[in-house]
Amino acid sequence: MAQSQLGPEAASAGSGASGFGRPLGDRSAPRGPYAALDLGTNNCRLLVARPSAEGFRVIDAFSRVVRLGEGLSHTGRLSEAAIARTLDALRVCRDKMTARGVTRARLIATEACRAAENGVVFLERVRGQLGLELEIVDRETEATLAVAGCSELADREAESIVLFDIGGGSSEIIWLDRGARDNGGPRRLQSWESLRLGVVSLAERFGGDEVTPEAFAAMTHFVAEALAPFAARVAGRGRCARFHLLGTSGTVTTIAGVHLELPRYDRRAVDGLWLTSDEVDATVARLRAMSYAERAANACIGAERADLVLAGCAILEAIRGHFPAERLRIADRGLREGMLMQMMRADRVWPRARGGAFV
């Protein structure tokens, strides 16, 4: 998969970056670096990469908490303060893509822009001010990209797994079966659900600063009820002894970092980490016992996520309640990696030996 370290590639000068965000099938541009941008309800994330024998090599990256969807669950609109924060982050992304000489990019917006009354107007503003062409993707596309970006981490011997992506405004839950039995085969997306709730919307509904046991139980129950129809839909599907959960999101990477007691977050230590059910229980209990100030002071949480992490834990607990598993694998990868893989496959520069991540 992608190497997490930034390469030594020198930045090329550039100015007036307009037109980033060409359609997936457009091969008209010269082959330069690729870029994938994911604008979610809580975060703005960018990866810039070049094809390599291993898939791709990351040469630049950016991530910032922008809280684009702050207050959206109450007002139905993106606020001016959230828009201003997001425009600042997108300006950094544009400048990075220009400096790296990006010629192929896909830039997506997810739940906040899907749900907001002024979501389309906001993207027109982005286009006019920054020259960036963001597309609002539907929930099925979001689920498919999550599978593309993460399914390589699934246990090859497992007959089926549940992959989930806990977002700021929505959470995707996906049932994957194994394909061809020789060499594990690619994963087949058999069923999926996009819950219209995430850490931001849940924390705004139930509170996120000081979360009582009663509030945490109420959050978990609320999510479990929303997830129940999907759980019933896949109830008859087989689960072998190697059945497990595969999670991608700030929630699970935070749990991994806290479990490892990292002095600062380290993707190399977290991506691909296996946690037992008991280890997840212990870490969630530890997080629930922390005060808001303790969560804010933790190097793997920080002040920007201190009021959201317990909402994420409640979503995780609801998922685990419906899909008990002895193991959880942590993925610090997701939509951006899925977009890079799809663009490189479309351009026929994805390594043949790697094949596809899913069918």
Segment 206-224, tens digit of pLDDT: 999 999 999 999 999 999 9
Residue 345 lies in a domain: no
* Coil, strand or helix at 55: strand
Judged against a pLDDT cut of 60, whether residue 138 lies above it is answered with yes
To 10 degrees, the CA torsion angle through 333, 305, 300, 107? 20
Same structural domain, 259 and 156: yes
pLDDT at 148 over 70: yes
Same domain for 102 and 115? yes
Q: Is the same domain home to 212 and 115?
A: no
| 29 lies in some domain | yes
Does residue 132 sit in the same domain as residue 147? no
Q: What is the pLDDT of residue 19?
A: 57
Structure tokens at 353: 């030996």
Residues 151 and 202 reside in one and the same domain: yes
The answer to the question of residue 346 being in a domain is: no
> Which of 1-15, 32-46, 299-313 is the least confident region?
1-15
Q: Is residue 14 situated within a structural domain?
A: yes
For 77, phi and psi rounded to 5 degrees?
-135, 155
pLDDT digits (tens, 9 = 90+) for 176-214: 987 644 445 566 777 899 999 999 999 999 999 999 999
120: tokens are: 């389309």
The greatest distance separating any two alpha carbons of the chain, rounded to the nearest whole angstrom, comes to 57
Measured distance CA(62)–CA(55) in Å, rounded: 20
312 plus 227 within the same structural domain: yes
* Among candidate residues 137, 169, 190, the one where a domain is terminated: 137
The structure tokens listed for 194 are 């996009």
Strands 135-136 and 104-109: parallel
CATH number of the CATH domain containing 151? 3.30.420.150
pLDDT at 283: 98
Tell me whether residue 348 is in a domain: no
Residues 145 and 130 in one domain: no
Is position 353 within any domain? no
Q: How many secondary structure helices (H) and strands (E) does the chain include?
A: 13, 11
Please give the pLDDT value at position 154.
Answer: 92
Burial zone of 13 (CB within 10 Å; 0-12 exposed, 13-18 middle, 19+ buried): exposed
Q: Are residues 122 and 238 in the same domain?
A: no
Range of the domain at 31: 1-137
| Whole-number pLDDT of residue 23 | 44
Find out whether 7 and 59 touch, Cβ atoms under 8 Å: yes
Instruction: Compute the average pLDDT of residues 257-283.
Output: 96
- pLDDT score, position 30: 46
- Give the rounded percent of residues in the chain with a pLDDT score beyond 70: 87
Question: What are the tens digits of pLDDT across the range 319-341?
Answer: 999 999 999 999 999 999 999 99
In this structure, what CATH number is given to the domain that contains residue 118?
A: 3.30.420.40
Percent share of the chain, pLDDT over 90? 74
* Of 112, 137, 162, the domain-final residue: 137
Provide the whole-model pTM: 0.84
- 92 and 150 inside one domain: no
Domain boundary residue, one of 137, 164, 185:
137
Q: Share the mean pLDDT of the chain.
A: 87
pLDDT tens digits, one per residue of 251-264? 999 999 999 999 99
Say yes or no to pLDDT of 272 above 50. yes
Between 11 and 135, name the one with better pLDDT. Answer: 135
Residue 303 sits in the same domain as residue 228 = yes
Q: Into how many domains does the chain fold?
A: 2
Same domain, 132 and 184: no
pLDDT on residue 352? 62
Q: Is residue 42 part of a domain?
A: yes
Same domain for 37 and 146, yes or no, is no
Tell me whether residue 355 is in a domain: no
